[in-house]
Chain A
Amino acid sequence: MDNAAAKKNIAQQLINLIATTCTLISGLSLVTLTLTFGWLVYGRYILNSTPTWVEQLALLLIITITFLSSAVGIKERTHLAVDILPQMCSPKVQLLFRIGCDLVLAGFGLLLALMAIELIEFSWYKRIPLLDIPEGIKYLPVTLSGSLLVIFSLNNIRNSVARLRSPDCNKRLSNKSGED
């Protein structure tokens, strides 16, 4: 394996690791979310003391799940899309459509990350009631999601360009992850 190919392989592995970590964090958040609601019901009916912090924590967890998983969805191409026009074109043109879409997504990710940083700064000194932590924390997953959108989209572009240069660029593209 030459040096460039080895570097490419390491970069891909790193991106896979980031995606797996995000899925793991989202998964743990979902399990925590489920258990805290179980605790809420248990507290209300068995302990006669409703844990009031559950609602605020749940909202933090759902933001985490949403923004991290949706960013991973870009890497794995699992988002709902209406790709009627690209499907009617040749595989090469389809790849160009994909590159265009990934560029737009990278731009959107950058904007999301920058705006979310501003929101963090703006709301850092406010406190989330009952949890007593800075409100800015709820925008952290958004910043992370925006940055991940940039990374995953650029990685998708790199893969599409590599495919465009390869001899099998005329093979039909699959919408499944890892198949392009």
Chain B
Amino acid sequence: MLRRHRRLRLLAAFTAVGLLATACGGGRDDDDSASDEGSGENGGAPAEVPGFDGETISLGVITPTSGRVAVIGEPLTNGNRAYWDYVNEELGGVAGQYPVELVIEDSAYDAPTAVQKYNDMKDSVVMFNQLLGTPIVNALLEQLTADNIVAQPASLDSFWVREQNLVPIGAPYQIQAINGIDWWVNEGGGSADSTICILRQDDPYGEAGLEGVQFALDELGIDLASEATFPVGNPDFTAQISQLQGAGCEMVWLTATPTDTGGALGKAAELGYTPQWLGQSPTWIGAFVESPLLPYLQEHYYWVSEGPEYGDTSASGMSELMRIQEQYAPDQEPDIYFNFGYLESQAVHQVLERAVEMGDLSHEGIIEALNSIEEFDFGGVFGNYGWGAPEDRNPPRANSIFEVDPNKPIGLGLLVEEHEAPFAADYEF
């Protein structure tokens, strides 16, 4: 009995030692592994560089596949996967010759883990197809700048617009707020005398919504009547709803995530408070269609995002998205994050095509290719993004408004397509 225990303990000891030993995997390949002769002649086949072995292009993805953000990370990654499966199988890869491989690592939504994964991967990928999480992107931005690698941040924060090493897509949160407020005041039932308020998360995402709201209200000459904040995962919204109710808000701009949307609007429904809610794009999730909150949402909630309704095939990009989803991700339900993942891969694809054209897939080559693109075209699913050097970038300035319709996919039906406030173009990034 004792002997068996001892052997088990010895076994555990040797395993521990073995674990440490295998950590020291491989010798040190002497540096300068990034042989920078990638600056080939225009039109020539790109030289081999980190992430490109002459045949396959490797792209990095650092995303949470566990924890509370996995509900966003997974459909996003599925969108990435579906798009590249389509490119590899139907187009033969980038420029018809170079298939793309996604290297997917889990970040656990934890900055040190993400930084570690980034460092593990940075010498074996050409660029990053997806980095999810504002704190993750912030932490990695230093490294990206130092290593001169390009990444696609999977969020609509405005900080990314002027970063050389980032490829943001979509109209940022501030623009959503600007267009949403302008539309409601002028066409959606409000007026210049309306009491407008905001309910937001107490973090940078919430602050982004506030900035947009404040900008729009300043332009319209309206005062913000009340600002209510809440921590993520707030168990009870009575205080916030009471505050808004007390201020007599007729319209409330909502900057939150689905769980808190449910909590806040649920409490509002219970307390009998019925302003017009306008929510930013992350506030919605398909599960609301089966929630007891549905009737309240149908009457009092609009969703602000971009592009056409899901299923509206008059936009070429939309019909293609749907076809690719059905073929390469058949188990995926229509999901706004899947769409985002698909679109960000589309953007990355355009960058890679240009880089191959210019004959250089090295990190520096990607940057050059990136700056030489004039506009990102998303086939109407997202607004086209004016591109160029970082100082010249111009995000899309129009948003679409949706209402809740349980009969439509994702539960949202288009109300107004591509509304642009007259002053939306004036917002400076």
Indicate, yes or no, whether A interacts with B: no
- Interface residues of A, Cβ cutoff 8 Å to B: none
